[in-house]
Structure formats: C-alpha cells, structure tokens
C-alpha cells in the first residue's frame, strides 16, 4: 500500500473510532495473509466497520462483492476500497479463481461474509473454508457485537481439514456475538457438516 494512502486510511480510521459509539476490541493483526470472516453479518453498516478495523490495524485486504456493486460510477470506488466483483450465481468458480490468484503468487488477505445475504440462508457458505484450506491461509475471526458495542478481530486459526472440529471452534467464538439485527443471524454451520454427521 502506498505510504500516503496508508496514512490517509489510518487518519480516517482514527477519526471514526474517536467519534463512534462502538469500541474497537481486537487481537493483533495476523502476521500473514488471512481469510478474514466478517460475522454476524446482518447490516450494511458492517462494511464501514470492516474498513475502520482493517485501516486502523494497517491490514491490506480484499473483499468479495456482487457484480452489481461495481456498475457505473461505483466501480472505481469499490475497487479502490479493495473490492473484487464476483458472480454469485457460480460460487464454485469464485473459490477456484481466488485459489488460482493466490497460487499464482498474488499476496492478499481476503474478507468474506459466509453467513450469506443477512438472514436469507440457513447455513454459512463454505467458500471461505475451501479457499483457506486449498491455499494454506489461516482464518481470522472478525466480529461485531451489538450487546457490548464492540467490534474487532478475534483469534486467527489454522484449519485442520476436519470440518466439524474447525467449525466447532468457530461456533464457540461467535456463540455470544450479536449483530445489528439479531433476528437475521445465521448459525455458523456448513452444509458439508450435515453430510458427514
């Protein structure tokens, strides 16, 4: 990240946290590229928190967004903010493209909101898990918690490849976290777990 751009982001983040009613409570930033989970994702406000957290901690991350967000004048802005447009109608291709980019030598962290479109699903989407497992990237647990008015980064986990074990650790962390709209919360569970139970 260019020095001037990084300085501007840190100043913006500092102003955000100075005036926000929310408090940044975070573990240290991971020391290598990671797949950063953003959950519970129940509001568009989560996007602002994601930027404020990563800018404050000096983390250079990319995020996946539906193609419609990049149409017209919004496209350059979204890309400048780290957005990567994806076709959500073909989730398998999204995963393979991200894995190919990492394996080809690109170095970047990736923000993913696996609980889907804020309450429209019964399970988390497994793309984050497959990307992390196939690239060897760890998974960092980002959160918002309306109950305590806190947000930030939780632990960074190395996946074992045992879906049930890995997801149990993730479920334990998010068990007491409440999003902006609690009724839209999606339990951290992958469909692949149901297939192996």
φ/ψ (deg, to 5) at 84: -120, 115
Q: How many whole angstroms separate alpha carbon 28 and alpha carbon 154?
A: 9
pLDDT tens digits along 161-187: 999 999 999 999 999 999 888 888 889
Q: State the pLDDT at residue 119.
A: 55
Range picked from 17-31, 98-112, 117-131 for highest mean pLDDT? 17-31
State residue 20 phi and psi, 5-degree precision.
Answer: -75, 145
In this prediction, residue 121 carries a pLDDT of: 75
42-82 pLDDT tens trace = 888 888 899 999 999 988 889 988 888 899 998 999 998 88
**DSSP state letter for 7:** H
Q: What is the pLDDT of residue 134?
A: 93
Mean predicted lDDT score pLDDT of the chain: 88
Q: Which of 104, 156, 97, 102 is nearest to 127 (CA)?
A: 97
d(CA 110, CA 192): 22
State the average pLDDT over residues 16-27.
94
Give the model's pLDDT for residue 141: 97
pLDDT band at 194 (very low <50, low <70, confident <90, very high): confident
């Amino acid at each position: 990240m260019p020095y001037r751009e990084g300085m501007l982001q840190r100043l913006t983040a500092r102003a955000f946290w100075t005036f926000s009613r929310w408090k940044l409570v975070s573990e240290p930033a991971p020391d290598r590229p990671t797949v950063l989970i953003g959950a519970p994702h129940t509001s568009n406000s989560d996007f602002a928190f994601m930027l404020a957290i990563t800018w404050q901690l000096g983390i250079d991350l990319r995020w996946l967004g539906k193609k419609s967000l990049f149409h017209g004048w919004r496209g350059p802005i979204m890309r400048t903010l780290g957005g990567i447009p994806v076709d959500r109608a073909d989730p398998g291709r999204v995963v393979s493209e991200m894995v190919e980019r990492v394996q080809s030598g690109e170095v970047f962290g990736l923000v993913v909101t696996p609980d889907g479109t804020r309450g429209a699903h019964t399970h988390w989407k497994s793309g984050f898990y497959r990307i992390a497992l196939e690239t060897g990237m760890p998974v960092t647990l980002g959160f918002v918690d309306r109950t305590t008015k806190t947000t930030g980064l939780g632990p960074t986990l190395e996946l074992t490849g045992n879906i049930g074990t890995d997801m149990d650790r993730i479920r334990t962390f998010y068990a007491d976290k409440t999003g902006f709209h609690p009724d839209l919360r999606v339990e951290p569970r992958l469909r692949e777990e149901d297939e192996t139970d």
